[in-house]
Structure 1
Amino acid sequence: MTDADIRSRLVAAGVDLVEHEGHAAVSLREIARRAGVSHGAPRRYFPTHLDLLSAIAREGYTDLAARVAATVRDGGPDPYDRLLALGRAYLDYAAAHRGMFELMFRHDLLNSGRLGLRDTSLPLFTLLVDLVTEARRPTDAPAPVLAGALWANLHGLAQLWAWGSLQLATGQADDDALLRAALDAHLGHRTSP
């Protein structure tokens, strides 16, 4: 087995562990066990725990980016519809991949500079800014500011929905109305059907 194979197996085992048991369950020993390598192998390929966690989170960003790109591409020509598709993909990913979603946005990982994780996350924000640029009104805040506020709103929706807080507070059975309200709040009420 090559070094690249072992590295890939460790990351894949970490992704599986995060997906099934949450990011808090991630330990070097458990990842090594699941990858079928010695318990010392993770340290040979990832000098710190943050390096391994960053490699795992990077897989999450790659997966989310692919899902968002496909969804936005299929969202049609209207920027509002593509933003709606992006938001839907983001919320769906957060709900279906709770552990990975939480790991991906850990501040210590993003701020550590490990494996260029922040650079891996920025293309998603750039796509959001591009769509907001198309959809915004001339009187709105600059597109990056507006996109940042919308992203914060989407992230808050994802977190509060996962905790059950929004269902309790709003009485909503699904998060679609909240997603549309977030877009309308940031981009103005949509006038087309």
Structure 2
Amino acid sequence: MTESDRSLRDRLVDAGVELVAAEGAPALTLREIARRAGVSHGAPRRYFPTHLELLSAIAHRGFTALAGRAREALGDGTAAPGAQVAALGRVYLEFARDNTGMYELMFRHDLLESGHLRLRETSLPLFGLLADLVGRARPGVDARLVAGALWANLHGIAQLWSWGSLRLATGTVDPEPLLHSALDAHLGPVTSR
């Protein structure tokens, strides 16, 4: 791939990232991405033979951003495992809140299953990190199962919060108490996180 090809490919992905941030995942049409990138509506097909491939490239940027936030939140990794799990949970919920369209795109089953850009290889290391920390926080449990249940709980909190359902049901204006309840349920009560 030439430098100009790489540049145009990146411009298309950049346009998609900006579009999903501004208008959400449903707005990610090939035609609109091409328009925003300043190219003909057929140009994306040269670099992304299918719409799923372009969406996967955009979602890959989301997973990369989430992983960067996770690394930043964990710092030098010397905090107690439970505190690190809490930091990851907080980052996950904040990312979902701050990047609603990208978050929705990243977890589309058709993208994860498609195999484009190996999104599972981008997302599974984050889950592996969570499972490792859960195992250290709760020795003797099946860490992958507990981490899976915790992740499902966090994903549900993120989704229901974005829809307004949890605010309505719980009367809370901050998802932090929900995060603590999820952590307590999966890791056991901890007085300070």
TM-score range, shorter chain: over 0.9
1:39 alignment partner, SS class? coil
Q: In 2, Cα distance between the equivalents of 1:77 and 1:46?
A: 42
Equivalent residues in 2 for 1:113-192, closer than 5 Å:
113-138=115-140, 140=141, 142-191=142-191
Per the alignment, residue 59 of structure 2 pairs with 57
CA deviation after TM superposition for structure 1 residue 101, in Å? 0.1
Q: AA paired with 1:15?
A: V
Q: In 1, Cα distance between the equivalents of 2:22 and 2:109?
A: 22
Cα RMSD for the two superposed structures: 1.4
* Partners of 1:29 and 1:39 within 8 A in 2: yes
Per the alignment, residue 110 of structure 2 pairs with 108
Per the alignment, residue 36 of structure 1 pairs with 38
CA deviation after TM superposition for structure 1 residue 29, in Å? 1.0
4+ long deviations beyond 4 Å: none
Per the alignment, residue 80 of structure 1 pairs with 82
Task: In structure 2, list runs of 5 or more residues that go unmatched.
Answer: none
1:93 alignment partner, SS class? helix
Q: In 1, Cα distance between the equivalents of 2:192 and 2:166?
A: 27
* Partners of 1:22 and 1:100 within 8 A in 2: yes
* Partners of 1:19 and 1:98 within 8 A in 2: yes
Residues paired across the two proteins, number: 191
* Partners of 1:161 and 1:175 within 8 A in 2: yes
Q: Tell me whether 1:18 sits opposite 2:13 in the alignment.
A: no
Task: In structure 1, list runs of 5 or more residues that go unmatched.
Answer: none
CA deviation after TM superposition for structure 1 residue 189, in Å? 1.1
CA deviation after TM superposition for structure 1 residue 192, in Å? 5.7
Q: Assess, with a 3 A threshold, how the Cα gap between structure 1 residues 29 and 134 changes in structure 2: closer, same or farther.
A: same
2:172 alignment partner, SS class? coil
Q: In 1, Cα distance between the equivalents of 2:56 and 2:156?
A: 22
Q: AA paired with 1:6?
A: L
Indicate the percent of aligned positions where both proteins have the same amino acid. 63
